[in-house]
Amino acid sequence: MALLLLLLLGAVVTVPLGERLGLPAPVLMTLAGIGMAFASFVPDVDIPPEIILPALLPPLLYASVQRTSWRQFAANKRPIFLLAVALVFVTTAAVAAVADAIVPGLPIAAAVALGALVAPPDPVAATAVAGSVGLPRRLVSILEGEGLFNDVTAIVLYHVAIAAAVSGTFSLPEAFGLLVLSAVVAVAVGLLLGWLTIKLMGLLGDATLQVGLTLLVPFVSYVLAEELMGSGVLAVLTTALFLAEHTADADDVLGRLTGRSFWEIVDTLVTGVAFGLIGLELHSVFGTADGRELELVGWGLAVVAVVVGVRLLWLLPATWLAKRLHTRRDYSEEIPTSWRETVVMWWAGMRGVASVALALAIPLETDDGKPFPGRDEIVFIAFAVIMATLVFQGLTLPWLVRRLGVRADTDAEQALERELAIRAAKAAKHRLKEIEDTEDLPEDVLERLQRAAYDIGARISPDMVDEERREAYAQRAERFKAVGRVQRELLSAARHEVLSARSEPGADPEVVDRVLRYLDVRSLH
């Protein structure tokens, strides 16, 4: 328990520390975990591998989906397919071939399991690192889509390979059928649970209860799909996308703010714990070396070279192909636009939580009671890949991005912001016109409301107005700012007075908190 609390504290502290040092927080947490792993006062971590994926992946995946949309996935289906599905198969095959050649006595099924567990780049690490170094949004979108879908592909491949290694038999039609069944069950579970969640949210009503329900939904979706022989990762992804598309209520301001704040906290804490555990597990992995450290390190470096090299060799033609297939109709498809962006995408392929969980989840024995062939070697090599890609690439990615000059497309972002500001102002004016036609508003009130409708857009993007109007808006904004400052002081005084009543004799804390909540909500407006 003390170690878990220490990891949670580290998850919080590494965020501002990473911003100050210009380094990704997940990498810092991994380094902190490594430091704790070799500290004498820290006990060995012995986490049942079968609970790592169900405990860590559902909330991380759900939080990642909150930052994207189904439209992005649909628009980027070609680059996501080339990276998330095709590249996972290619990487798995290449790693399996090399491992089978260099590791004595390693069966091909075990080699494929190794390839599958090191094939998928981690979506959490990639997006956390990409977001911290200011990459173009289109690259972040592709990395998010790749990270979310490649886990689905790799985990199903891993289970097929493990089943073959444990039973000693393999059937290609059976493996393909398992892939199809896993996907169909996952999508069905995800859609059904998403629909039920919407119905429950309507019954609950309260924003706090609704947010609490969203915390349970990813775990239920994952576990239910796994129990029905489906892909838990794909089920969580389907549920999260369904909810994102069907629960958007423009007027649910409090629910939206509460949910976003809650999931930002969950994402930060779970990410910190996950990457801290990666570092902590390193001590146990070294214990399996049994005097063969140099030999195992050599095998690990060979597999690292394959994983990193295959990604580059695949990305270069895949990016070229995506550009050739890209047409003017695909204006919303997000692809790398230069070799520099392709290199950044290559170097952002870091392995993380899923690879650790899959490596540790390898069975100890086969069906005939014999030790799983090459288990210690597979675990060691897997951690070598994770450490090399996560720590080394994660620490050097910010430097690489700066050297190549890859930056976010701020002009495009500002143009979209300006367009949205204009649309928001027009919508407000149109609604005011409708109200004006049905209600008799005083002239001074109507004039004030017209200015307020116009100011909605100007506040979002001041560049949408000409210089003369911008100066007039700036003057009004200064007046509103002064009024707002005084209003905040008034509400602050009211909150202090109500809060002091909590300690007074005879005061009902529940009533006090209800009044305080009303004042807090007023303060949001």
370: alpha, beta or left, given left = phi > 0 and alpha = psi -120 to 50?
A: beta
State residue 90's pLDDT score. Answer: 92
pLDDT in tens, 356-392: 778 878 887 888 878 888 888 888 888 889 888 888 8
State residue 459's pLDDT score. Answer: 64
State residue 341's pLDDT score. Answer: 82
DSSP string of 127-162, one letter each residue: HHHHHHTT--HHHHHHHHHHHHHHHHHHHHHHHHHH
The one-character DSSP state at 348 is T
User: Dihedral of the CA atoms 62, 64, 67, 68 (nearest 10)?
Assistant: -90
Say how far apart CA 159 and CA 85 lie, in whole Å.
16
State residue 266's pLDDT score. Answer: 85
State residue 253's pLDDT score. Answer: 63
- Any residues with CB less than 8 A from the CB of 83 and at least 6 apart, and which? 142, 145, 146, 150, 315, 318
State residue 472's pLDDT score. Answer: 63
State residue 116's pLDDT score. Answer: 92
Say how far apart CA 115 and CA 93 lie, in whole Å.
7
Please give the span between the terminal C-alpha atoms of the chain, in angstroms, as a whole number: 41
Backbone angles phi, psi at 224, to 5 degrees: -65, -45
What six digits make up the tokens of 83? Answer: 């990276």
State residue 276's pLDDT score. Answer: 81
State residue 191's pLDDT score. Answer: 93
State residue 17's pLDDT score. Answer: 82
State residue 349's pLDDT score. Answer: 84
- Half-sphere exposure of residue 288: CA atoms within 13 angstroms, side-chain side: 18
Give pLDDT < 50 ranges for the chain. 328
pTM: 0.74
What six digits make up the tokens of 270? Answer: 């779970």
| CA 204 to chain centroid | 27
- How many separate helices (H) and strands (E) can be counted in the chain? 22, 0
Indicate if the alpha-carbon torsion angle 302, 304, 310, 313 is positive or negative.
negative
Radius of gyration of the chain (CA): 27
- Identify whether the C-beta of residue 73 lies closer than 8 Å to the C-beta of residue 80: yes
